[in-house]
Amino acid sequence: MNRIVLMFIFLTLVTVLGIAESKRELVCRCDTLRCESMNYTCITDGACVVYIDRYGTGEIQVRGCTTEDPAPRMICDSHDGKPDDRRDSYDYHAHCCYKNMCNDVTKINLTLPTVNPSTSGTDKDSNDQGGGELSTIGVAAAIAGPMCFICGLIMLFICWHQKRQLKKQEHFNEAEAALKPLEVDEAVIPSGQTLKELMDMSTGSGSGLPLLVQRTIARQIHLVGLIGKGRFGEVYKGVWRGQSVAVKIFSSRDECSWFREAEIYQTTMLRHENLLGFVAADNKDNGAWTQLWLVTDYLEKGSLYDYLQLVTLDVHSMLKLAVSIASGLAHLHIEIVGTQGKPAIAHRDLKSKNILVKRNGTCCIGDLGLAVRHNSVSDTVDVPHGNRVGTKRYMPPEFLEDNVHVRHFDAYKRGDVYAFGLVLWEVARKCVSGGICEEYQLPYYDRVPCDPSIEEMRKVVCVEKYRPSIPNRWVQAEALQSVSKIMKECWYANSAARLTALRVKKTLTAICQLHDVDIMV
């Protein structure tokens, strides 16, 4: 029984303490279940050990680590030194070594001497009673040994599980402690302050409100009603201190999408009058699951897609819409160099449904969940993980053919310009000239179904090289003729020949000045 107790203590200490940090570390082979996560190895400041023991007719051989603690060191000293009368046994043996992986089965494979019935044991008595006692002890040892081994592993698993649960509880307590100050909202946001005043006070030149203020605002918003749905969430109108905000709510399974969009919105120097204003990002527990909130400015006119179906435009209103979209896209694409600089950003999903109309008749670009940023120092693009792609109807030919270098940032900017050309076509169709205008339609409405596949779009755009048709009446109107020329230069099949967003903005600004359109609204 001494051997059993010794083996149990040995296994427990090997697995629990074998990976402790110390002055000298060895990597050893380890057979215990606790070492599975380390590819059945352990790290020690003591020695690598191989332990073999006989139980009944079988043998158990265990590999692991010892430490500088007295009990494991006693094992090495006892079995590697000069054996005494008690340890010079046919039934068990241990071997310690002091090099990396020196106890591997290819290097050390211990065996026990074959038991000779005439000499083994403690000088067996010749009477039947003595033989019976030895037999009973052997059976007991054969059963008790494996049982102790299994019990030891169970105890180790229980200890490991309890330790893991304790760490989880500690993290939870830390999170709770961090969030407790948020309950006292008035201490964070003085009464009477508006969102605009908070934005003006925030640091980071448009990178959003301070984190504490974001969470405080989100916990005070009252949702009024659903105003839209998307692929990755629902959009609600909310009210905070009498001010309207838009709340995009993601489910917990779309946490990556929520985090990505919030991260892009909080890019330094991103804030611009033609980009949707970001207010806050927070998570809220609704009792059944965790909701992920993205709070932005609320624009009551809704998306450009909805707006164009309800109105007709004159030349002035058409140009205001067009130049404001181009201005927002140019700000996204441009890199601002400096300590508080902004990286160049490509939208990757520009379309009329992701553009919102403001009260003054201008637009702002929203939904930056698929946007990518360019690191000019390393010339890399932070393309998000996953299979998400932009809207197929607005995808440029090089993306439809999968013939683009995904790590080349200019490819994404040129794709945005192609999509802008299609949006400009949607806007121009609703501009009245000669007393008439076309009904609102999506690009390629006459060639593909409502939800086209990539193959259907590839056939129309790449194989047939078709582009949205230009009505004859546009040729008769100077402004529409100039706008149609910009469209065609935006959707060239050769992406390198397309205009840049900055060039589009400057050209449209010149057209606005020619028609006395006030773009400084």
Q: List, by residue number, the catalytic residues.
A: 349
328, 272 Cβ separation under 8 angstroms: yes
Residue type, 56: G
Q: Token digits for 15?
A: 């697995």
User: In 281-388, which ranges are continuous DSSP H helix?
Assistant: 304-308, 315-333
**For residue 61, what are the CA distances in angstroms to 1, 104, 116, 155, 261?**
18, 12, 21, 20, 55
Residue type, 389: V
Sign of CA dihedral 286, 292, 296, 300: negative
**For residue 213, what are the CA distances in angstroms to 202, 216, 299?**
10, 5, 22
- The alpha carbon torsion through 121, 126, 131, 137 (nearest 10 deg) reads -30
The side-by-side arrangement of strands in the sheet containing 344-346 is 344-346, 372-375, 380-381
d(CA 62, CA 95): 11
Comparing C-alpha atoms, which of 273, 276, 264, 469 is closest to residue 348? 264
d(CA 42, CA 30): 6
Residue type, 58: G
